[in-house]
Amino acid sequence: MIFRPTLLFAPLALCVLAACSRQPEPAPPDADPAATADASGPARIEADVRFLADDLLEGRAAGTRGYDLASLYVANRMRAIGLAPAGDDGTYFQRVPLLEARRQREGAQFTLQRDDGALSFTFLDEFLPGMNFNAASHVLSAPLVFVGQAVHAPDLGYDDFKGVDVRGKVAVYFSGAPASFSNTQRAFHASGHEKMSQLVANGAIGAIGIGNPVDDAKYPWARGARNWEMAGMRLVGADGKPADAWPELKATATLSVEGARKLLAGAPMPVDEIFERRESGKLESFDLPGRVTLAGATTLQAVDSRNVIGKLPGSDPTLAAEHIAYSAHLDHIGIGAEVDGDGVYNGAFDNALGIAVMLQAATELKADATAPRRSLLFVAVTAEERGLLGATYFAQFPTVAKDSLVANINMDMPVFLTEVTDVVPIGIEHSTLEADVQAAAAQLGVGGGGGPHPPRGPGATFFFELNGGAPT
């Protein structure tokens, strides 16, 4: 898609960052932060976005030349700003080792053998094989068990694994978690990582994620499935093995709502009732009749990508040893299914603009006569679109002492299409930065938010995590 910019930005990120990295000083009543902002800032932000989102960078997918060019550009922008290199070996780059997987149509199979005959499922319309990071090809034949949403939360009085034996079976599960859970609990139990952990802990040898009508109305299967050829990625550990690859699961697959209807047709209750119970939080688990055969082929390739990291040293002799990481992801999803004849997913908002705003914050902070008291790290992370991999790698292997990282502010997709009226700090309840955010918002004359939804029209969003945790 061609990017046509409409940039109405405020130096909001700068001020949030400034407030949380400096001694809180009450602003004089007539202070106007915009008046002190760098006048060439908007043009510089536009220039960065125009370069990073250009078709020539081919959507900046991690592991591609387009991303490598983008990372070279950002490193040299950091050099020009005057940030110190803070990556590996005195460079701006931190190498991130990855394994790339691409599933193949050829060899993909999903069949169900029941007493009354065999059922074949259609590739793409009804099923997609999962990406297998452990083997270039797989075949698995096993009995099936339905495990609701695969949620094991005994402390909340909820367990989808109660009363069923999952060992040696292919588990069939819905996405999500019960609506009765709090936001935080739901986010935890709905995560793919937690579900796979529970399936493996219960002895499953395969997993089938199935669609449901409510989610499909919001995120139609067809829209996601048209990009089925896009690569998946995992971090590679020091042992050379991919992380979160679940080798205990010999095969995985996903089913559309139509595929789910076909698979659940043999269940002990009507399919529509199962769908309805998902919404009301009253799912029951049970064995499904028949044996499923899942087969697939995956092309696996080791690739390197890189985070880009620059440092602005702090001015306080003691506090300079502490680091605040200001992060934004630099990658986007690359080239995929064409939309109106254009297959490049430029990622202007997601997240060239976040990178440009981060670089502008670095520019203004560097130009300030007094540096912030704590040291600041500006981290452009890779492979966010493949599962927050660059951020996770940086959190696991930071290029500064891990316990010196005291806060992280992440910016993703600041869509400044209208006047900024509020700062909505997503995840602030897990952070100690709330008072700083509110002070900075007040300085700018915008609302401090406080909830997950902006009270008045679109605003800017910030993501927080403490102590070097992966930004979300």
- Stretches 67-75, 93-101, 184-192, 344-352: which one binds Zn ion (CB under 5 A)? 344-352
- Least distance CB 442 / Zn ion (angstroms): 28
Angle at Cα 302 formed by Cα 296 and Cα 307, nearest 5°? 125
- Least distance CB 99 / Zn ion (angstroms): 22
Q: Quickly tell me which residue has 């939804």 as its tokens.
A: 453
- Least distance CB 412 / Zn ion (angstroms): 4
Q: Of 9, 7, 8, 18, whose CA–CA distance to 364 is shortest?
A: 18
Q: Tell me how far CA of residue 269 lies from CA of 39, 144, 254, 286, 288, in angstroms.
A: 66, 16, 21, 10, 11
71 to 110, contacts with Zn ion by CB under 5 A? none
Q: Of 30, 13, 79, whose CA–CA distance to 440 is shortest?
A: 13
Q: Say if residues 423 and 446 touch (Cβ distance below 8 Å).
A: yes
Q: Quickly tell me which residue has 């367990």 as its tokens.
A: 159
Q: Of 304, 329, 332, 307, whose CA–CA distance to 61 is shortest?
A: 332
- Least distance CB 148 / Zn ion (angstroms): 30
- Least distance CB 354 / Zn ion (angstroms): 7
Q: Which is nearer to Zn ion, 100 or 350 (CB)?
A: 350
- Stretches 58-66, 94-102, 351-359, 438-446: which one binds Zn ion (CB under 5 A)? 351-359
Q: Binding marks (x or -) toward Zn ion, 407..446, rule CB under 5 A?
A: -----xx---------------------------------
**350 makes contact with Zn ion (CB under 5 A):** yes
By rule CB under 5 A, what count of residues binds Zn ion?
4
Q: Binding marks (x or -) toward Zn ion, 353..392, rule CB under 5 A?
A: ----------------------------------------
Q: Which is nearer to Zn ion, 412 or 436 (CB)?
A: 412
How many Å is the Cα radius of gyration of the chain? 24
Q: How many other CB atoms sit within 10 Å of the CB of residue 210?
A: 23
Q: Which is nearer to Zn ion, 211 or 334 (CB)?
A: 334
Residue 193: strand pairing partners: none
Q: Which is nearer to Zn ion, 174 or 349 (CB)?
A: 349
Q: Which is nearer to Zn ion, 40 or 227 (CB)?
A: 227
Say if strands 170-174 and 206-210 run parallel, antiparallel, or are unpaired.
parallel
Q: What is the DSSP string of 98-132?
A: EEEEEEEEEEEEEEEEETTEEEE--BTTTEEEPP-
293 to 322, contacts with Zn ion by CB under 5 A? none
Q: Which is nearer to Zn ion, 58 or 322 (CB)?
A: 58
Q: Of 355, 434, 285, whose CA–CA distance to 67 is shortest?
A: 355
Alpha helices in 173-239 (DSSP H): 183-190, 192-201, 213-218, 221-225
- Least distance CB 12 / Zn ion (angstroms): 18
Measured distance between the N- and C-terminal CA atoms of the chain, rounded to whole angstroms: 26
Q: Which is nearer to Zn ion, 171 or 353 (CB)?
A: 353
Rounded to whole angstroms, the Cα distance separating 93 from 73 reads 12
Q: Which is nearer to Zn ion, 143 or 232 (CB)?
A: 232
- Least distance CB 329 / Zn ion (angstroms): 6
- Stretches 82-90, 159-167, 224-232, 406-414: which one binds Zn ion (CB under 5 A)? 406-414
Q: Which is nearer to Zn ion, 68 or 350 (CB)?
A: 350
Tell me which residues touch Zn ion (CB under 5 A): 350-351, 412-413
